Each structure stands twice: as C-alpha cells, then as structure tokens.
Structure 1
Amino acid sequence: MTNDKLNDKIIKACLFDMDGLLVNTEDIYTITCNEILEKYNKGPLTWDVKLQLQGLPGFEAGSKLIEHYKLPLTFEEFNRMNVASQDLKWPTCEFLPGALDLLTYLHGKNVPIALCTSSNQTKFHAKTSHLTEGFKLFDAVTTGDDPKLANGRGKPCPDIWQIGLKKLNEKYGTKITPDECIVFEDGKPGVISGKAFGGNVVWVPHHDAYDHLGDVEAFLEGRGEMLNSLEDLDKAKYGL
C-alpha cells in the first residue's frame, strides 16, 4: 500500500456492529422506548440521550434510560414491557442502504468479516432470521452474551472486537492485527471501543444524531472517518 493509504496497511478483515449500522433496529428501539415513556408521561427519547445508550449491553442501556427519565420501574419491569413490544417489530427490520452490498462485496473478495453486536443471541436471531441472505455471509458472530465476553466488558470496552478478531484468526489460521482491521460502527460507545481496540474506525451515525455529535474530528482523534452511509465507503482507500 502506498504512503497515501491508511496507516500504510492493507486491510485484512472487517468487523461490524449491527444495530443502526447494518439494520434499522435503532429506529425500532426508539419507537418501543417512546411507547413506554409515554405511558408515564415522560420523554420522548431524544438523540442526546440515545447517543449515550447505543451499543451498550441491554441491562446497562435500560438502567441508564430508567435513571435519566426517572421511570418508576425496575429494569426487569421495563425490560418485560420493552421486549414484548420489540418482538412484534423485529420481523419488520431491514438492511440499511449499502449494508448488504458491502457484505456481499467483502465476502466475494474473501475478506474475513465478523459481526460484533451487543445484542444477545435471542435478540440477534429475532432481528436477523428474515435477513439470512446477508447474515449468513459472516465468518464469525459474537453477541453480547458470548461466554468469552466478561460481565461489564461490553462497549465502550474493546473486548468484543478482540473476541471477533480472535475468532477470525482461529478460523483461518491467520495473525491479523487490530490495525489491519476496519471497525464499522454507528454509536459513540462503539467508536470509543473501536479506537481502544486499535482498529481503523468507520463511523456511520444516524442522520438524526448529527446535531448532537459535537466535534467529530476531535472525537475520532485521527483514528478513522465519519460517513453519511455505508454506500459512501471508498474501498480503494482501504485497499479493498
């Protein structure tokens, strides 16, 4: 790779978040949370708050939301209401622009790809069972309840990306390093975890979040770039 290419490295693997990056489930999370908030004359859920919840494990995200809006609910009560509403809506979720095309492209180029999502196994299958065309392309999948992911070590900790990369290296007998990976994320906690992991971050935030992102360049710290859509990825820039 020439000196004008990223880190003088050829990208050898790509690691993906799921919610809000590949599929439009973040919109469903907003809808179901607002249904609960409205019952208690709270809300609506705004993006300055939502940005703090994205990518977090379910218990942590739910607890933060309960605390912020001072809901008279335990996490278990909130979660039961939320899950009941979500389960009706997951079958309607769909790929976001450019997501399926990018996964198909990388698979066709034999670039190892791993999914690293904070969703647990049950939610992962509920969200993806009707989207197998794309999700069957992944070489490795790590969910938020993976036994290798210690309690309290979800995003913004880097562990989930480390686990995902280890699975790829074990599958293919490779020694790919974090700096040879792209980490694709939509949420701020995920971007923080991707930087801590040592990957090259491609950040694709929800359009409604733009007014609350702050200083994007300072946040990225020269460790990646922000795109409007996965459709805008310059593959040549990363040697893909």
Structure 2
Amino acid sequence: MEYKPVTHVLFDMDGLILNTEDLYTVAFQNIISQYGKDYTFELKLKLMGLQTNETANMVISSLDLPITPEEFISQTTQEFQKLFPDTEVLPGARRLIEHLSKKNIPIGLATSSSKESYELKVNRHHKELFSLFPYKTMGSSDPDVKRGKPHPDIFLVAASRFPDKPNPEMCLVFEDAVNGVKAARAAGMQVVMVPDTRVDASLTTEATLVIQSLEEFKPELFGLPPFDD
C-alpha cells in the first residue's frame, strides 16, 4: 500500500500505548464468571473501541446476563480501580511519542476511555508521558463524540482539536483494534495497526501498515522526521 506524507498524528491508548487490554480481559472475566460465562476473544474484538455504555450493552446482550448496563458499569468500575493503577507502557510507545513531541509534530490522544478511566490508568505512573499530548479526546466522556469506534467520530473530533484544523488525510492514526482501524479509515485517515497476535490477518487488511510492535515503526515512511539513533 502507498504511504502518503502526514503532518499530524493521533494515538489510541488501550492496547497500543498501555497494556490495559489485558487488564480489561481480567476485569470482564471476573464479572461474568459470576454468571457461568466466558469472555472470549471473539467478543473482545467486537468491544474494542466502543464507548462505556456501548460496551455494557453489548456484553449483556451477547452473553444474556441478568444485570442492567448500570450494574455492569458499576462492577467494572470497581474492578478497574484495583487493576488500572499499575498499567505498563508497551514496547516502542514511549520512544515514538517522545520523538514526535521533540520534533514538534502535533500529536493527540484519541481514546474511547472515559476521563475517570484515563486518570486511573495514567495518574500513578504515566503522567509525564501523557503530558506530551497537548490535545486529548476521551470518547466516553466527550459530548462531541456521539458514537464509538468503528464510527469515525472520535478521530474527526480529535483532529478538530488541533489549532490548525488539519484535513483528515494529513493525519496518521496508530491503533491496535479492528474497530479502531475501521474508524480511522472512515475518517479518511491513514492508520498504522499494531494488532494483538490473536487477530486473524484477514481482519487487518484495511490498515495502511501493519506492524507487530511500535518498535518497528519508521516515521520517515509517512514523511515524519526519522529517529535520531
């Protein structure tokens, strides 16, 4: 696939910068085990990138759970408070974010997480890293983001937060989720995908570039300043 030069970069957070997708799996399984259900990877793929309410509704309907969305959200919040404070940065993420910031490339965060969830994940260990994002869009808390991924809303809103309002085609998105890739493409943006190793290759074809780790990314492919080392 042809790579076109970009001027702005947007990052997903969960499963791309932080290892929180693993923690979501633990949290959700802890809840649905009470009802004799399993949190399968197939269901997880459908949920990745959805907003909080969308996630609750899909889990309940998919597994026929005898609880309300509000009860599910309340239980997940309790799980997250135990798990999220000890998140870890995934390989290559810190180097890339710090590099783009140092080179004055406009970068933004586009996460489906709520503000409260974001703070749980970031505040204990990662405030310095995330302070490098001048523009943050948190889909589950942002009234301007009407629909979760795979709809393009979050990336279009995130791009509009840059002061110079770049055209979508000038934005490069980093994503790990199939729904996130679909959202970026629907927004008219190129997207680099770093998928979970369990994702079938047939589900990654919409991505502009697929890599196994952010450590593999070469910024110059998209007209961005190369790494200094």
Mark yes or no: TM-score above 0.5: yes
Structure with greater proportional helix content: 1
2:227 matched residue in structure 1: none
Give a deviation string over 1:191-240, Cα, whole Å, max 9, x none. Answer: 11100111111111122x32x453533xx1xx511111111112121121
> Does structure 1 residue 118 correspond to structure 2 residue 112?
yes
- How far apart are the structure 1 equivalents of 2:204 and 2:8? 25
For residue 119 of structure 1, give the secondary structure of its aligned residue in structure 2.
Answer: coil
Q: Give the gaps of 5 or more residues in structure 1.
A: none
Residue from 215, 221, 226 that aligns with 1:237: 221
Residue 178 of structure 1 is matched in structure 2 by: 168
TM-score by length of 2: 0.92
Do the aligned partners of residues 175 and 38 (structure 1) sit closer, same or farther apart at CA in structure 2, a change above 3 Å counting?
A: closer
Write the letter of the residue equivalent to 1:178: P
CA separation in 1, counterparts of 2:78 and 2:10? 30
For residues 55-89 of structure 1, the C-alpha deviation after alignment (integer angstroms, 9 at most, x for no partner) is 10011112111111111111111111111011111
SS at match of 2:161: helix
| Correspondence for 1:148 | 144
Please give the residue correspondences for 1:1-240 in structure 2 after superposition, counting only pairs within 5 Å: 6-7=3-4, 10-43=5-38, 45-130=39-124, 131-144=126-139, 145-150=141-146, 153-168=147-162, 170=163, 174-207=164-197, 209-210=198-199, 212-217=200-205, 220=206, 224-240=208-224
User: Could you list the runs of 5+ residues in structure 2 that have no partner in the other structure?
Assistant: 225-229
Tell me, in whole angstroms, the C-alpha distance in 1 between the residues paired with 2:158 and 2:80.
26
Instruction: Calculate the TM-score normalised by the size of structure 1.
Output: 0.88
The 8 Å contact of residues 5 and 237 in structure 1, kept in 2 or not, is answered as no
Residue-pair matches, total: 222
Task: Specify the code of the residue in structure 2 equivalent to 1:101.
Answer: R
